[in-house]
Structure 1
Amino acid sequence: MFRKTIITSAVLALAATSALAQDAQKLERIEITGSSIKRIDAETAVPLTIVTRESIDKSGASNVQELVDRLSSNNGGGRSLGESIGDSNATGQTGASLRGLGRERTLVLLNGRRLAIYPFAGAGVDLNAIPLAAIERIEILRDGASSTYGSDAIGGVINFITRKDFRGGEVTAGYEQPQATGGTVVSAQGGIGFGDLAKDKFNILGTFSFQEYDVVHAADREFAKTGNRPDIGVVKSSGNTFPANAYNAQTGAYIPGVAGFPNCKPPDSFPGGANCRYDYTSKIDIIPASNRFGGLLRGTAELSADHLLFAELSYSRNEITLGSSQTPSSTTGRDDYLYPAGGKYYPTAAVDASSSKGYRGDLVIAWRMVDGGQRLTKVTNDMTRALVGAEGNFAGWDYKAGLMRASSKASEDFLTGNFSDTQLVRVLKTGNVNPFGPNDATGLALLKEAELHGNNRASKTTLDAFDFSMSRELFAMSGGNAAMAAGLDIRKEEYLDGYSDIAGSGDIVGGSGNAGKVRGERKTTGIYAELNLPVIKNLELNAAVRADRYSGASGESRDGAFSSPNLSSTSPKFSLRWTPMKELLVRGSVGKGFRAPALDNLYAPSAGTNTGGNFTDPYYNTLKGCAAFPNTNYCDTQLTVVNNSNRNLKPEKSKTATLGVVFEPIRDLSMEVGYFNIKITDGIKSLTGDDILKDWFSHQTGPTTSSSVYANRLIKNAQGYLDHVEASLENVGQAKVSGFDLSARYRVRTALGNFTPYWEATIVTKSSETNVVTGEVEDTLGKYLRGGPVVRVKQNVSLDWDTDAWAGGVRYFRQSGYRDYDEVRHVPKYDLWSLQGQYKGVKNLVLTAGVLNLLDKKPPVTVQEDYFQVGFDPTYADVKGRSFYVRANYKF
């Protein structure tokens, strides 16, 4: 009866069939994610979720990220595309986060083998690079640390499985249109295959996919159109405004009339107490425009009944255009921008109407370069993977071998609205650029001279790998034949984050400071063995062990050349599978994991950036005073931060335990309850500038003093004001997560068709980690976290109906709320309904229509200030709103 459990207990969205379902009369052995031993019974001792091709189609998802975001086991700490707006860290990447442990601890595979990490991040795979059209099924190993794939899979494994023996052709075209403005998706995908392995001894398969995503501007959505939200206590704005704020260069006195204070210039410029403020978040994009193309070519040849050769080539290209607000002129740590005395647009009347009457010297300006347009950058990621291998049977051993090279190239190019600091200073000195109003043709031409174009960052990661494994049955035991497997994998990874010279010089106005190149490489060797013992009837024990060695780690950046000592670990794992009766399965596992620091964690050069939130420099406020002299470099602004890598980082270690039962009391009814517990020690975490400043102010003992343990990380400049905050990566002690996975599925067969209700949920009962600032272990469950909260409950409910000619389905997704950023408010639960209908009455043709976010649910309100977006959390909710889609699939 458990021949179907791997499907019936674990499929995310409902499926009537699975490529893994085996006919009871066929004793074909298959390999399941999480084990190297091929077996007849697909139900394993470790928890596994499978998403079939049919499930993917019924989900309505247009890309892998949308699909993974709805997995109940995927929780906070991944990466959403909205986080890339205004953030140079992992720009353009989307990522998975099983158990809420982060994308760096979730191992993503394609056909059981690794992909190159995303170059701009140095950790994690970009889900955008995986072509959804080529996927036959997705296997999610919800058990951390894999002896087969790597002990660094602390959160779990997501294995994307492509078609391998496909004959015929298939093409799908789709169109999605949100009800509100923007966000249109046009897609086309297909595949063709020929050759029957059983008859022709070969098969060749090719697939392609293309998606074009239209932009959604913040102004297109009511909940995102402004950062001026006094109704919720958040006013995220900038003192770099249009017309520019201006100050007496000698005394620092504010000149109100230049910017029109106190009326300012609505709606984007508004009074903010001591000066005019600019609503810059209203000018960003919340879904970037993008184009995605993917292709896969696979050939398989049967040399004999016992030996199979295969070759695989996959390619994907993703172009994402990121739009943020117009460039601000002033930044903490940079010299003031001056409008020259005697300039064409010198505001004489406004100066004379202020306390600086009669002054005719230079003016300090805090300017938003509206005439330069929105800052647009294009991020392009090309991922290529070539693989050749063989599998079969030799002398009674099943074997598998593969040689692979994977690479990922990412580039960032300036399109519009980005400026050179030195050139902007030059053109301002002419006096012919107008920061106080619209520019004429001369001013616009000068601004064009200062504008930056071309490449700012070109990065690349490569992964060369060889793997070999073998398995066989050994001897008879009371419960069946014992079996073993052993294998090795050898990898070399190279990493280059290649910032341009201009990025390294810090000459980009309002940019990411002085980010610099970093290059690193290392080798990894892993050896593993697995033994499966059917001790007695219905009881199997499994023992596995993996030994990893990281060697030859070295790197260089502008901070110098470095090397790190070799690292090694031994990670054991034990599991059991017990079926006390044919309707009941009990399974459990315990194991250890090990994850070395990423290369950029070790070797990246010190680089400047900005805080996520707005802060006031306490030193400037005390010495000068923001009320009287509201300098936008120091008052209510994003202050400068210098991020530092850490060559002394230790590897993370983990312990994982699972226990579960699967119950099938009657035909077509399956239920599962599973418990998981993961503990991480020496966890690697960023100590950000925001963390340090928040702690400084929470422990403030005087105007310029604080008892914060990180008070010495606030570095002053020559004037005695804040120059920057020293941020870093640290080993912060421990993190824990535990909870339950639940699912129930039932098939009802009637004369009107088959009805399949399904429910699956993950309930997190504990999530805690050492506070990176205080060193104390704190509860993080159901609380705001940068990168996404770990919510208590995440669940999916669905009901599908299928007949020969028609099909339909309704889906309900819900995740519980959490305590907000301010630790006072509560962000309410978030849920979505979707509908889909299909017509299959024409041979080889399937027509699909559906509605996503049926009730047009808006993201819940939050007071978070870590992202450019204001009023909502881009990691938590859908921002497209109600969307309608149609698709047509034709097979030939």
Structure 2
Amino acid sequence: MSIVPKVALALSISVAGLSAPLAPAAAAQEQRQSYDLPAQPLARSLREVSMRSGRNIAAPAELLRGRTAPAIRGDYTLGEVVEALLAGSGLTGCRVGDGLLIERVRSSDSDPGDQGAPSGEIVVTGTRIRGSGPVGSTVNVVDRQAIERSGYATTQDIAQTIPQNFGGSPNEGNGAGSFNSDSGFNTAAGSSINLRGLGTGSTLVLLNGDRPPLGGFSGVFSDVSMIPASAIERIEIVADGASAIYGSDAVAGVVNIIPRLNFTGAETKFRIGTADGDSQDIVASQLIGTHWSGGQAMIAYEYYHRTRLAAADRAYATDDLRNYGGTDNRTRYANPGTIIAANGRTFAIPRGQDGRSLKPGDLVANTFNLGNDWTDADLLPDQRRHSVFAAATQEFAPNVRLYARGLYSSRSFTQRERPISNAARTVPVTNPFYVDPIGTRQPVRVQYSFVRDLGPETTSGRVEAYGGSLGLDADLGRWNIDLHGTWGRQTERTTISNRVNTARLNAALADTDPATAYNLFGDGPSTNPATIAEVRGSTRSGNSGTVWSAALRADGPLATLPGGDIRLAVGGEYREERYNDSTTISDVSTLTPVTLAPIALPGPRRVRALYGEVHVPVFGEDFTLPGFRRLDLSAAVRTERYSDFGTTTNPKIGIAWEPFPGLTVRGTWGKSFRAPNFNNLRQDPANSLFFTYTLPDPASPTGQTNVLVLRGNDPDLRPERATSWTLGADVRPPSIPNLQLSLTYYNIHYRDRIASPAANLLNFLVNRATYAGIIDANPSLATIQSYFASPVFQNPFNLTPSQISLLIDARLQNLSTVKQSGLDLDLGYGFDLLGGKADVGLTGAYIFHIDQALTATAPSTDVVDRLGNPVDLRLRGRAGWSDDRLNIFVFGNYLDGYTNLTNATPQKVHSWTTFDLQIGYRFGKAGTDHDLSIALSATNLFDRDPPKAAYFLGPFSVGFDPDNASPLGRVVSLTVTKKW
């Protein structure tokens, strides 16, 4: 904080907003005074010191609220007594003239360049009211110091340390296979955040309070990999429903990534890290910031590169899961391959030959060769990113400020994939390498892997995210008004190379010339390289999402109660979202590349919103009734009108009660929602299908019933809705300074979840009670005839409309419910040790149950602790010590064990405990802007492999759970930071 704000603050406020009388000016030479102060509110102690010493002591009320000062007895100077009162509070006294200004401490390990805004100007995540946090909700903060001490290089890796965040969502490590359906839309190796495991679409991610453009096909998630970690000041997490504040998606909570807007000076950073195997990462960043009278500006650049993690570097990257609690899932598409004769018998092609002299007698009958689809594939892609963030503020009139912020990120990636083109290839008798194992002279089929011929199928691409905001911020008396607009776009371009072009392959298989025909009968590449090059195909595709919004907000005091000001925030917003699929150039099934029309996504979506929030401090610290030291209430409501489905209104209330010093009991209740995404709303013919079917039916005399099944998206989709409530307590015992304990119980009832029951088609009538809500037992003939007349109707069973007995709606619709409850923990304690400061702490999340029901009439199933779902307990502990030079921190990460029910025999997946270590040293004078620091970090210090898990999902299999564990292993890094 510069001298001008200090003087202004000192002149404008007194201790805790209370107009304490000012004593005559003290003598220039500080004198010792005798003090006898009981343990009491910090604001009261500072006021008594001000009166006794004759010095002005000023502080924003928000800094002192809820803090208790220790008992003081003895003779002290002003500086000594204030230091004693503030010990362990995170506050310090800064001299302003003859007085003191109380402000937040900048520790020797914190960044002196990150000044931050004055406390009274900060809007904390979870509320629209400046200068106060959300009443009843906890705000967990990962600050700059925690980011630097974590040892992690990227925003997505830092987010994975949050116990409430479930990795089973779109992330770079599970794009090829995940039980989370949204992961299939992660075509560009992005990363998301998934609080409570309720789905990435149920977590609202903000960048400095605004919605960034979304990533993935049709914008199914916020891609946090595009945000440079070096530009982040802090990450605020409110794991509570917040649609009354922010609107859609804030069901499980809100994650607000706040950049270093007020950075001053210069910071140069370089990091190099290496993991077991060949994977390495490099980070280089530069921040520059300055301020002047009435303004400030900063710019940050970051370069990040992490090389691929090859599957060959991890033993558990295999399809043979027999050593990991599962079965042998190796593919029959191998090299050498397997011949399937005309009568269906299989014959394994022998190794060590080129297929040019192969005879039927050389084949191994009634068996087949097996291959591992992880051969030459990658567990993690090669990622390379350039990012620039800039911000500026200028006061151009008294109390009126213009601000601008912008982000540009470009990320390229390359990943060698497991094959997606596996299929048995038909070899005609004209092929010069044709072998007939049974002498019928009929075409044979060959199961063959092309990886050794074409190279591994490789996905590569580029993602660009760019946008910014421009706004006006004005103080009108004690009210603040903010008007700003935000625009952003994210584009994704992807190419899949080394695919098999089936049309050109079939032509090469039918070729009669041995010099140019394709040879599937050898061990390894046995075909003319020119022919192989001719068969090589690819696909190119892309998509983009754009969001722009305008917002007007005002907040300030309405009236004053004994506990403080009643504060109100009101505002309105307009937002427009648009997502476009680009044309796809396909070179995999035709002799020449063809251009496919883009998928017709609906939109644009237009959203209009009005909201209001009030904070009522019913009584404060001076209230004398026992058990009622402080009581705060809040209420908020937000109404939004969507252009594509209508209006939704969501309220929220909060309460915080402090019966006596050191204990706060709090709670919230509210409603939240998630709007259908653009893919949910598609009604194009490519996404719809009506078809006849004959289903098994125990209630039918014939044992089966003719039905008409509807597939696609329900045209009347509504928002998903949730009701949530929390109850918690914060403990800060006055007798144990620097000890804090926070416990929060939460309960979420999430209904009308958008889901499709289509995967259970054969059970619809077997379990009729479960699926009663989607079965029309008496459809009219006219209704059936209308579906028969649809252009998307198919009749594989050749039924007539009159033969249809039931109509089954298996479309994506508002169908399922989830009930979840759990407990969040945050424990911390700081104390003096060996001339420095020690800090220990523990954060955790425990889930009591996640009860899911596919339909309103279906029985619920508790899925917690099941593969593909969150585990019941995640913990992250810390223990460290630091002084002006040295800091040593150890972090422990615990993931509880769970059960894999995807196997025929349930498998116990063991718990996983890892440790992270950082040792840092600062050269130069601590707290100056010319210091140099180095940090040696090791994440997963003891190189613990993920617990064995037979993870099998369709053609994807691996020996660990990519939703709950990372394959990187131990990563050792060295970071050098220079402040200029």
Q: Is the 8 A contact 2:430 2:510 kept in 1?
A: no
Which whole-Å CA distance do the structure 1 matches of 2:634 and 2:194 have between them? 27
Which whole-Å CA distance do the structure 1 matches of 2:323 and 2:824 have between them? 40
Q: Is the 8 A contact 2:631 2:655 kept in 1?
A: yes
Aligned to 2:939: 852
The one-letter code of the counterpart of 1:187 is V
Q: Counterpart of 2:269 in 1: which secondary structure?
A: strand
Aligned to 1:189: 285
User: Which piece of structure 1 moves more, 202-211 or 337-346?
Assistant: 337-346
Within the candidate set 410, 426, 434, 1:338 is matched to 426
TM-score, length-scaled by structure 1 = 0.82
The one-letter code of the counterpart of 1:860 is P
Within the candidate set 117, 139, 142, 2:239 is matched to 142
Q: Is the 8 A contact 1:433 1:444 kept in 2?
A: no
Q: Counterpart of 1:74 in 2: which secondary structure?
A: coil
Aligned to 1:675: 745
Q: Mapping of 1:645-684 within 5 angstroms?
A: 645-665=713-733, 666-684=736-754
Which whole-Å CA distance do the structure 1 matches of 2:509 and 2:687 have between them? 25
Which whole-Å CA distance do the structure 2 matches of 1:102 and 1:775 have between them? 21
Which whole-Å CA distance do the structure 2 matches of 1:664 and 1:604 have between them? 55
- Cα gap change, 1:477/1:409 in structure 2, threshold over 3 Å: closer, same or farther? same
Alpha-carbon deviation of 1:484?
0.7
Aligned to 2:445: 364
Deviations 1:483-522 (A, max 9, x none): 111011110100112351528x97699xxx9994535321
Say yes or no: does 1:101 pair with 2:198. Answer: yes
Which whole-Å CA distance do the structure 2 matches of 1:329 and 1:715 have between them? 27
Q: Is the 8 A contact 1:85 1:322 kept in 2?
A: no
Within the candidate set 486, 489, 501, 1:404 is matched to 486
Q: Is the 8 A contact 1:46 1:143 kept in 2?
A: yes
Q: Counterpart of 1:97 in 2: which secondary structure?
A: coil
TM-score, length-scaled by structure 2 = 0.75
Q: Is the 8 A contact 1:433 1:439 kept in 2?
A: no
- Cα gap change, 1:28/1:122 in structure 2, threshold over 3 Å: closer, same or farther? closer
Q: Counterpart of 2:298 in 1: which secondary structure?
A: strand
Deviations 1:205-226 (A, max 9, x none): 1101111111112121122244
Q: Mapping of 1:406-485 within 5 angstroms?
A: 406-414=488-496, 416-431=497-512, 432-437=517-522, 443-453=528-538, 456-485=540-569
Q: Is the 8 A contact 1:245 1:275 kept in 2?
A: yes
Q: Mapping of 1:729-740 within 5 angstroms?
A: 729-740=812-823
Deviations 1:728-765 (A, max 9, x none): 53333311111111121111113431110111111111
Within the candidate set 298, 308, 321, 2:391 is matched to 298
Which whole-Å CA distance do the structure 2 matches of 1:272 and 1:95 have between them? 49
Q: Counterpart of 2:679 in 1: which secondary structure?
A: helix
Which whole-Å CA distance do the structure 1 matches of 2:585 and 2:946 have between them? 40
Aligned to 1:598: 677
Which whole-Å CA distance do the structure 1 matches of 2:110 and 2:657 have between them? 24
Q: Counterpart of 2:819 in 1: which secondary structure?
A: strand
- Cα gap change, 1:235/1:605 in structure 2, threshold over 3 Å: closer, same or farther? farther
Which whole-Å CA distance do the structure 2 matches of 1:833 and 1:135 have between them? 24
Q: Is the 8 A contact 2:270 2:285 kept in 1?
A: yes
Alpha-carbon deviation of 1:878?
2.0
Aligned to 1:50: 141
Aligned to 1:863: 950
Aligned to 1:548: 640
Q: Counterpart of 1:32 in 2: which secondary structure?
A: coil
Which whole-Å CA distance do the structure 2 matches of 1:54 and 1:5 have between them? 24
Within the candidate set 356, 373, 382, 2:464 is matched to 382
- Cα gap change, 1:884/1:435 in structure 2, threshold over 3 Å: closer, same or farther? same
- Cα gap change, 1:480/1:439 in structure 2, threshold over 3 Å: closer, same or farther? closer
Q: Is the 8 A contact 2:166 2:963 kept in 1?
A: no
- Cα gap change, 1:439/1:841 in structure 2, threshold over 3 Å: closer, same or farther? closer
Q: Is the 8 A contact 1:111 1:160 kept in 2?
A: yes
Say yes or no: does 1:202 pair with 2:290. Answer: no
Say yes or no: does 1:117 pair with 2:214. Answer: yes
Alpha-carbon deviation of 1:889?
0.5
Within the candidate set 857, 876, 881, 2:964 is matched to 876
Say yes or no: does 1:311 pair with 2:311. Answer: no
Alpha-carbon deviation of 1:678?
1.1
Q: Mapping of 1:453-852 within 5 angstroms?
A: 453=538, 456-502=540-586, 516=599, 518-537=601-620, 538-551=630-643, 553=644, 566-603=645-682, 644-665=712-733, 666-685=736-755, 687=757, 689=759, 729-771=812-854, 775-785=858-868, 789-820=869-900, 821-822=902-903, 824-843=906-925, 844-852=931-939
Aligned to 1:558: none
Q: Counterpart of 1:65 in 2: which secondary structure?
A: helix
Q: Is the 8 A contact 2:582 2:598 kept in 1?
A: no
5+ long unaligned stretches in structure 2: 1-41, 43-61, 68-87, 91-105, 178-182, 621-629, 689-694, 697-709, 776-791, 799-808, 926-930
Which whole-Å CA distance do the structure 2 matches of 1:864 and 1:809 have between them? 34
Alpha-carbon deviation of 1:780?
1.1
Which whole-Å CA distance do the structure 2 matches of 1:506 and 1:730 have between them? 34
Matched positions, count: 798
Q: Is the 8 A contact 2:127 2:133 kept in 1?
A: no
Which whole-Å CA distance do the structure 1 matches of 2:445 and 2:795 have between them? 21
Alpha-carbon deviation of 1:150?
1.5
Alpha-carbon deviation of 1:525?
1.0
The one-letter code of the counterpart of 1:657 is W
Which whole-Å CA distance do the structure 1 matches of 2:527 and 2:910 have between them? 52
Alpha-carbon deviation of 1:16?
8.4
The one-letter code of the counterpart of 2:555 is S
Identical aligned pairs, as a percentage? 25
Which whole-Å CA distance do the structure 2 matches of 1:771 and 1:327 have between them? 30
Alpha-carbon deviation of 1:259?
5.7
User: Which piece of structure 1 moves more, 304-313 or 275-284?
Assistant: 275-284
Aligned to 1:246: 339
Which whole-Å CA distance do the structure 1 matches of 2:659 and 2:364 have between them? 72
User: Which piece of structure 1 moves more, 124-133 or 106-115?
Assistant: 124-133
Q: Counterpart of 2:159 in 1: which secondary structure?
A: helix
Deviations 1:833-879 (A, max 9, x none): 11110010235111000111112111111122127341111111121
Say yes or no: does 1:59 pair with 2:150. Answer: yes
The one-letter code of the counterpart of 1:33 is T
Which whole-Å CA distance do the structure 2 matches of 1:115 and 1:322 have between them? 26
- Cα gap change, 1:824/1:272 in structure 2, threshold over 3 Å: closer, same or farther? farther
Alpha-carbon deviation of 1:663?
1.0
Alpha-carbon deviation of 1:714?
15
Aligned to 2:329: 236
Which whole-Å CA distance do the structure 1 matches of 2:843 and 2:270 have between them? 30
Alpha-carbon deviation of 1:387?
1.0
Aligned to 2:778: none
Within the candidate set 869, 873, 888, 2:976 is matched to 888
Q: Is the 8 A contact 1:687 1:730 kept in 2?
A: no
The one-letter code of the counterpart of 1:433 is Y
Alpha-carbon deviation of 1:158?
0.3
Which whole-Å CA distance do the structure 1 matches of 2:878 and 2:967 have between them? 22
Q: Is the 8 A contact 1:3 1:42 kept in 2?
A: no
The one-letter code of the counterpart of 1:339 is V
Which whole-Å CA distance do the structure 2 matches of 1:402 and 1:256 have between them? 70
The one-letter code of the counterpart of 1:673 is L
Which whole-Å CA distance do the structure 2 matches of 1:806 and 1:230 have between them? 45
The one-letter code of the counterpart of 1:380 is R
- Cα gap change, 1:731/1:506 in structure 2, threshold over 3 Å: closer, same or farther? farther
Q: Counterpart of 2:405 in 1: which secondary structure?
A: strand
Alpha-carbon deviation of 1:90?
1.6
